[in-house]
């Protein structure tokens, strides 16, 4: 057990190190000077004001130091939890901007992933049993999983927000409210949350449903199922075993899909101007703010690695064969 997890953790650490280095390196190669760009955006300044502002920001961001020094500074500050200062935020620490945005993104992702995974798999399993359900769930599932995230977001926004005016168009919470622990604020928060959540949920649901349906059929056709049937076991028992076997690839599939899901959340947030990480990434791209981008991507890297690790743990819990294999036996 320790050896197995130890190896996994080592792999993740090395991956993190390399990914973080690449993440740091890449924006440094962007042509154009972000501070110059920032000063230029203010436009119409007197010459001396322009120069003063340029020097001030250059100093603030530590961009006037040689690259190897910047790299070392990067790791020291990273270990202190300091991800640098944001150009887009005029010097606000990146970590503050990210912390302000993460709850919104997690608030979208976690319920969407869990609900869609659970519901999708259940419907997929059901569909594998009943032909009638199969004929409806299947095409819907294919259409949903083939839909690009942002297009579904657009359509939902068009229908429910603009045409029927049921849900608000954009933002995290209403502009006439301040965050307070009141029922009014809470319902407003949920109303703004619902459409982005729904569009993420629907696309993912389709994928899981299809995947599960295929897996169940595959399992139901396998030798042990046939054997159990031949022995006269009730259908429900066979299905129960098939379901558990079919779950395993779905769990690993979840880990593999994380990158795609995060990208989907990003574009969905852009459509709804939902103040999460996606919105921040979009703004950072437009202002050429490499510190902010670098910080956000570092977060995403850490998040994906963590999620991978969690999935590994869950897998070991769910599949007894791996535990046996770890102890050196054979299943």
Identify residues 167-226 at the interface with another protein (CB under 8 A). 169-173, 175-182, 184-186, 189-190, 193, 204, 206-208, 210-212, 214-215, 217-218, 221-222
What span, in angstroms and rounded, lies between the C-alpha atoms of 331 and 329? 7
Q: For residues 93-112, which are near another protein according to CB under 8 A?
A: 93, 96-97, 99-101, 103-104, 106-107, 110-111
What span, in angstroms and rounded, lies between the C-alpha atoms of 159 and 179? 28
Measured from the CB atom, the residue of 71 and 218 that comes closer to another protein is 218
List 6, 69, 91, 227, residue binding another protein (CB under 8 A): 91
Binding of residue 322 to another protein (CB under 8 A): yes
List 78, 115, 198, 233, residue binding another protein (CB under 8 A): 115
Q: For residues 282-301, which are near another protein according to CB under 8 A?
A: 282-283, 285-288, 293-294, 297, 300-301
List 123, 275, 291, 295, residue binding another protein (CB under 8 A): 275
**Burial annotation 78-89 (CB, 10 A radius, 16+ → b, else e):** eeeeebbbbbbb
CA distance to 2, 3, 327, 330, 331, per residue, from 324 (Å): 13, 13, 5, 7, 7
Q: For residues 134-153, which are near another protein according to CB under 8 A?
A: 142-143, 145-152
List 1, 6, 9, 49, residue binding another protein (CB under 8 A): 49
Tokens 């103040």 found at: 275
What span, in angstroms and rounded, lies between the C-alpha atoms of 218 and 228? 15
Minimum CB separation from another protein for residue 229, in Å?
Answer: 14
Minimum CB separation from another protein for residue 158, in Å?
Answer: 5
Measured from the CB atom, the residue of 171 and 233 that comes closer to another protein is 171
Q: What's the token pair of residue 294?
A: 């670098």
Minimum CB separation from another protein for residue 246, in Å?
Answer: 9
Q: Are 299 and 277 in contact (CB under 8 A)?
A: yes
# chain residues binding another protein, by CB under 8 A: 148
User: Measured at the alpha carbon of residue 122, what is the angle toward residues 119 and 123, in degrees to the nearest 5?
Assistant: 85
List 160, 248, 309, 314, residue binding another protein (CB under 8 A): 248
User: Measured at the alpha carbon of residue 139, what is the angle toward residues 151 and 258, in degrees to the nearest 5?
Assistant: 55
User: Measured at the alpha carbon of residue 174, what is the angle toward residues 154 and 99, in degrees to the nearest 5?
Assistant: 85
């Amino acid at each position: 057990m320790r050896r197995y997890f130890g190896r996994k953790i080592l792999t993740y650490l090395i991956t993190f190190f390399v990914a973080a280095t690449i993440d740091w390196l890449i924006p440094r190669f962007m042509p154009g000077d972000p501070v110059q760009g920032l000063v230029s955006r203010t436009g119409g300044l007197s010459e001396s004001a322009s120069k003063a502002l340029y020097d001030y920001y250059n100093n603030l961001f530590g961009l006037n130091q040689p690259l190897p020094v910047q790299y070392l500074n990067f790791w020291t500050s990273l270990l202190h939890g300091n991800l640098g200062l944001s150009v887009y935020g005029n010097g606000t620490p990146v970590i503050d901007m990210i912390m302000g945005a993460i709850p919104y993104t997690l608030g979208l992702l976690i319920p969407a992933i869990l609900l869609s995974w659970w519901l999708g798999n259940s419907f997929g399993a059901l569909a594998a049993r009943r032909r009638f359900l199969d004929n409806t769930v299947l095409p819907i599932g294919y259409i949903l999983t083939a839909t690009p995230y942002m297009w579904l977001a657009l359509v939902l926004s068009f229908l429910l927000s603009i045409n029927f005016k049921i849900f608000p168009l954009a933002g995290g919470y209403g502009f006439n409210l301040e965050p307070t622990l009141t029922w009014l604020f809470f319902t407003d928060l949920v109303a703004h949350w619902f459409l982005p959540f729904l569009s993420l949920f629907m696309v993912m649901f389709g994928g899981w449903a299809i995947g599960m349906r295929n897996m169940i059929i595959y399992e139901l056709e396998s030798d042990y199922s046939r054997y159990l049937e031949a022995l006269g076991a009730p259908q429900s028992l066979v299905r129960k075993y098939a379901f558990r076997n079919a779950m395993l690839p779905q769990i690993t599939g979840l880990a593999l899909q994380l990158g795609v899901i995060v990208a989907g959340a990003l574009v969905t947030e852009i459509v709804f101007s939902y103040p999460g990480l996606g919105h921040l990434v979009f703004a950072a791209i437009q202002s050429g703010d490499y510190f902010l981008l670098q910080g956000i991507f570092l977060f995403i890297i850490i998040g994906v690695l963590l999620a991978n690790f969690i999935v590994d743990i869950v897998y070991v819990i769910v599949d007894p064969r791996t535990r046996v294999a770890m102890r050196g036996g054979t299943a």
